Amino acid sequence: MRPDQHGKSRLLQRTEGATAVECAIVLPFMLLLICGIMDFGNLYYQSHNVNEAAREGARVAAVGGTSQEVSTAVKNFGNQLQLSMNPSTPVSGQPVTVTVTESVSIITPFISNFFPSNPVTVMGTTIMRVE
């Protein structure tokens, strides 16, 4: 092709606008994918965190810890965690159930439409026999 007065071929001039259109079409999908990965990653992390907090709280209760010690062990995993322990005073030889819950907000508007409620409540439960 013969270059024009600015040194660009006519074929190159015709494809310059196509790049902007392709970017405008692909960019929203890429942003949605990235935000979705971050939201689901956060949800998975928080789910793992409450499971570990429940396991740690049940372990403390199983070795004879008080309700305050169990609460402290759970709060080490996050201040926003809610704790439920049954029975509230562990009895030797009996199982103790520790349940930890937390609310996790989904920040991407399109992704939050897939969940019936926002914030999503994640829960972890552990049962151990008291020594």
Question: pLDDT per position in the chain (131 positions), as tens?
Answer: 555 566 566 655 666 778 888 899 999 999 999 999 999 999 999 999 999 999 999 999 999 889 999 999 999 999 899 999 999 888 889 999 999 999 999 988 888 888 888 899 999 999 999 98
For residue 46, the model assigns a pLDDT of 96
Q: Which pLDDT value is given to residue 8? A: 61
Q: Residue 20: its pLDDT value, please?
A: 83
Radius of gyration of the chain (CA): 27
Q: What integer pLDDT is reported at residue 27 of this predicted model?
A: 94
Residues 121, 102 contacting (CB under 8 angstroms):
yes
What's the angle, vertex CA 83, arms to CA 82 and CA 85, rounded to 5?
Answer: 160
Determine the pLDDT at residue 7.
Answer: 59
How far the first Cα of the chain sits from its last, in Å, is 86
Backbone angles phi, psi at 104, to 5 degrees: -120, 125
Q: How many CB atoms lie within 10 A of CB 70?
A: 23
CA distances for 128 relative to 23, 53, 57, 115, angstroms: 55, 14, 10, 32
The CA-based dihedral angle spanning residues 43, 45, 47, 49, taken in that order and rounded to the nearest 10 degrees: -150
What pLDDT does 2 receive?
Answer: 56
Say how many CA atoms lie within 13 Å of 45 toward its Cβ: 11
Q: Whole-prediction pTM value?
A: 0.78
Q: What is the structure's pLDDT at 63?
A: 94
